[in-house]
Structure 1
Amino acid sequence: MDIIQRNHIHVVGDLGAPQTLVFAHGFGIDQTTFHQVIAPFRQDYKIVLFDNVGGGKAELKAYSPRRYETIHGYATDVADILQALELKNVTFIGHSVSGMIGLLHSVYYPGIIDKLVLLGSSPRYLNDPASNYIGGFDDAALTSLFEAMEANYHAWAAGFSKLAMRNEDRPELAAQFAASLQELRPDIAIQVAKAIFYMDYRDELPKVTIPTLVVQTTNDIAVPGVVSEYLEAHIPNSRRTKVNTEGHFPHISAPGEVIAAIQSFL
């Protein structure tokens, strides 16, 4: 299958620029959620946007339960995209799970991604009492989450979107996220969510060799502040910055804050 079609790839900005910014979305949303963030970078950078298979306008028939049983399948997709576009001097900006996807790519395919931005990302969502690791969820919480998804996916999406987006004074943001979640095929959404919430890539963090920016918000239901502190402590040559907004989607709720963080890092 054509990779451009498979991942609904768009290349914008200065197509002849020596540096490329690749923006990768998280679960339940698509590339359009970066439209406010990319605007200031269009003049000086080549910008690549794409949809992860199973979401957005990516080719649905490309979805394979076996390939995407873990997020390794998505890291392979990123390798396909960067190779097909012959990209060099890449800064990878990954939101949520796509931050870990970009991190895995940098470890498995070194020399292509030069810098990494982890926007509300986590190496593990499940608490690990044996190592005193706090990921934000215990077994009971995840069991309840998936039972709710399986019982009535659309009702779950409506409720979860409000908790994840926060910003109660701007209910339209949660409504937009709910609508995006509800466009997903429920069986695919549930499988991808399980791959995300049960993953554990803590052992990969020390293997990262490129400069990394960890972006943290407040009141993030998916990624508590201690997780961003953990990332900064375990990824060599990383630094953490806090943006002034609540919830799991700072590029949607506070694009100016995210733009400033990326510009400072670049």
Structure 2
Amino acid sequence: MTNQPYDVTTASNRLKATWSGSGDEVVVLSHGFGSDQTSWEYIRPVLDANFRVLSYNLAGCGDHGEASYDLHLHSSLFGYADDLLALIAEQQVSRVHYVGHSVSGMIGMIAAVARPELFDRLVLLQPSPCYLNDPATSYVGGFEQNDLNALYDAMATNYQSWAAGFVPMVMGLAAQDSLAHFSATLFKIRPDIAQHILRMIFQSDHRTLVPRVTTDTRLIHSRKDMAVPVDVAHWLHAHIPGSVSEVLELEGHLPHITQPQIVAPAVLRHLLDR
């Protein structure tokens, strides 16, 4: 992990943490790139009925997200895992269930490897340890480096134009209100910060850490996701000891927004399963 430069008592303020729900057990919700904690509003009522629920914004995301972002600390997912652990420590919660979408799947795994005693279960939606294809190991991550270079160039040239094309591409078949929600949260991120975050995510490779996860892990993936092909779901299931994998017959990288009526019961089922 990194050397956390922030006072732990400021975590909830920096990350705009919010509580809801009721129950004896705590669920922490952590969103993916381009979103903020409002992305959980479509499935949160189901969780609130069964758990105390804590959500927060990843550094750089949400309203005034630039105030929480540190270019050095957040140059890797380890810095984001430090934020998560700092937040849990500040809230004085002894153990949590963790639900992470996309990049937050890997953030949760990093945190659980560092502090396994804090995590009862990881329920990970669309996670990936590596987005680049690796022919040497027959790993299918979904992207070639040339694809990513073109994406970075498009972001740098005209962020608004890039975002307008990126949103429907990653969401797949989605209603207009779903597209509008993701567009709104994506545009809240300062363009230079968005570029730093996305480049950091897509260039990272955490495959060697994955087998070290000892926490009970549940994997949920869409059958069709341009950002995380189903091959990744199979790879993670094979490399996380004792993990459970469920591939839903859905399209898109943000199914908790586009088809919450399917995702909410799946997430709840994995949280309650004993």
Please indicate, yes or no, whether the TM-score normalized by the shorter chain is above 0.5: yes
For the aligned pair, the TM-score class normalised by the smaller chain equals: over 0.9
Contact 1:21 1:48 in 2 (8 A): yes
How far residue 218 of structure 1 moved from its aligned partner, in angstroms, is 2.5
For residues 136-162 of structure 1, give each alpha carbon's deviation from its aligned partner in whole angstroms, at most 9, with x where no partner exists: 000100000100000001100000101
| Counterpart position of 1:194 | 199
| Counterpart position of 1:204 | 209
| Counterpart position of 2:4 | none
Secondary structure in 2 matching 1:41: helix
> Does structure 1 residue 64 correspond to structure 2 residue 70?
yes
2:148 partner amino acid? L
From 35, 39, 47, the counterpart of 1:41: 47
Q: Any gaps of 5 or more consecutive residues in structure 1? A: none
Task: Name which of structure 1's ranges 1-10 and 219-228 shifts more when overlaid on structure 2.
Answer: 1-10
> Does structure 1 residue 157 correspond to structure 2 residue 175?
no
| Counterpart position of 1:13 | 21
Contact 1:5 1:59 in 2 (8 A): no
| Counterpart position of 2:250 | 245
How far residue 110 of structure 1 moved from its aligned partner, in angstroms, is 1.6
How far residue 251 of structure 1 moved from its aligned partner, in angstroms, is 0.6
How far residue 58 of structure 1 moved from its aligned partner, in angstroms, is 5.8
> Does structure 1 residue 110 correspond to structure 2 residue 110?
no
Distance 2:64 2:264 in 1: 26
Contact 2:65 2:189 in 1 (8 A): no
2:186 partner amino acid? L
From 93, 100, 105, the counterpart of 2:106: 100
Q: What does residue range 80-159 of structure 1 map to in structure 2 within 5 Å?
A: 80-159=86-165
How far residue 245 of structure 1 moved from its aligned partner, in angstroms, is 2.0
1:221 partner amino acid? M
Q: Any gaps of 5 or more consecutive residues in structure 2? A: 1-6
| Counterpart position of 2:223 | 218
For residues 129-186 of structure 1, give each alpha carbon's deviation from its aligned partner in whole angstroms, at most 9, with x where no partner exists: 1111110000100000100000001100000101001115x23322332232122100
Distance 1:52 1:87 in 2: 19
Distance 2:211 2:45 in 1: 33
TM-align CA RMSD:
1.3
Distance 2:181 2:20 in 1: 24
| Counterpart position of 1:236 | 241
Secondary structure in 2 matching 1:149: helix
For residues 66-119 of structure 1, give each alpha carbon's deviation from its aligned partner in whole angstroms, at most 9, with x where no partner exists: 111111110000000010011133110000000100010000112001100110
TM-score by length of 1: 0.95
How far residue 239 of structure 1 moved from its aligned partner, in angstroms, is 1.1
Contact 2:66 2:190 in 1 (8 A): no
Distance 1:57 1:116 in 2: 27
Contact 2:98 2:122 in 1 (8 A): yes
What number of residue pairs does the alignment pair up?
A: 263
Task: Name which of structure 1's ranges 39-48 and 24-33 shifts more when overlaid on structure 2.
Answer: 39-48
Give aligned-pair identity as a percent: 37
